[in-house]
Structure 1
Amino acid sequence: MSAIYYKDGLYFSDIDTVEISGVARRIGAMTAEQRVNAGYEVVDIDTRPDLDDVAIITEVKDGARISYTVTPRPLEQVKEMSKAKVAEYRYGIETGGLTVAGVAIPTDDRTKVLLNGAYSRAIAGDPSAVRKFKTPSGFLDATNEQIIAMAEAIADHVQACFNAEAAHCAAIDAMEDDVDDPIAARKAIIGYDYTTGWPS
């Protein structure tokens, strides 16, 4: 990381060019003594806290010193961020497919719509009628009875996914603040383990 220099209320980098005694000089090419004699101070920069998920980090410039203030994000904002991660995870499980009677069935949104339409026709038709249904391994000759079973299995799968998401969101909502260590409280919320309790 290149150094930062301070002089007369302004900040400079190694690649900046300044005029010294009528000669243009790149600050990084000057010796330390030359920079000091010209009035350029090396800026003391604190390490920026890696807390963006849980806090608002503000840079504070004070002459030849740059530091950072850490302000905890509102608790509800952090909870919403954590619940958004749960929703994303739920969608992955929901649309990741499942196996019904030994057959791998997609559960992406388009397949769910198509299968729902086939289900509506199947429940009104002959249970032994056969329909072509495409799976990841190829076409399946599915009877209306199988179509109904697949549609109901997917519906149960989707509902189980939303039930799990709701349970995790309730657990996150129940997490409390800690006035003595608000950053730790927010880290716990962001770090909440939402990977358990999902349908397989």
Structure 2
Amino acid sequence: MEQWVDMRTLADALALRLADLARIRWEKETGGITIDGAAIATDRESQSLITGAWVRCQQHPDVLIDWKADSGWVKIDRATVEAIADAVGSHVQACFTCEKAHADALTVLDTIAAIDAYDIAAGWPA
């Protein structure tokens, strides 16, 4: 009977897990959030649009922004834009912070078995 031999090096195993970890962070980061029952997209394009709306509100504090929501068009004021931008920014940062914590934990493991067994799916923001 032939036995399968794992030819990966420790560095190979770590690189694969870190790539999986980055994929999970990307999915969580860009998967969207909910604020007061409203779905807010957090893909990179939406992050950019939210940042642009925030910048506009800083330059023009009394502006009302026409925003296309899932339910249709709404007008949002500076306070609403700032709340959305803060929530999205906090979500994105939490995703990167979680990825870093997992990466730090993975890089100190000294066996392929330990790297493979480490749960990279735990602890992500909702």
TM-score by length of 1: 0.58
Match of 2:116 among 160, 184, 190: 190
Moved over 4 A (4+): none
Percent of aligned positions with the same letter in both sequences? 33
Distance 1:194 1:137 in 2: 35
What letter is aligned with 2:122? T
- Structure 1 position 148, deviation (Å): 1.2
- Structure 1 position 116, deviation (Å): 0.7
- Structure 1 position 79, deviation (Å): 0.7
* Structural RMSD (CA): 1.7
Distance 1:125 1:173 in 2: 46
Match of 2:48 among 107, 113, 120: 113
Q: Secondary structure at the match of 1:123?
A: helix
**Structure with the bigger percentage of helix:** 2
Distance 1:170 1:134 in 2: 39
Distance 1:125 1:132 in 2: 14
Structure 2: stretches of 5+ with no match in the other structure? none
What letter is aligned with 1:161? C
**Structure with the bigger percentage of strand:** 1
Q: Secondary structure at the match of 1:107?
A: coil
Q: Deviation per CA, 1:24-52, whole angstroms, max 9, x where unpaired?
A: xxxxxxxxxxxxxxxxxxxxxx4462x6x
Q: Deviation per CA, 1:117-141, whole angstroms, max 9, x where unpaired?
A: 11101122224x3211123333332
Listed as ranges, the matches of 1:1-200 within 5 Å are 46-47=1-2, 49=4, 55-56=6-7, 73-127=8-62, 129-177=63-111, 186-200=112-126
Q: Secondary structure at the match of 1:197?
A: coil
Structure 1: stretches of 5+ with no match in the other structure? 1-45, 57-72, 178-185
What letter is aligned with 1:77? D
Q: Flag the structure with larger Rg.
A: 1
Distance 1:166 1:139 in 2: 37
What letter is aligned with 2:100? A
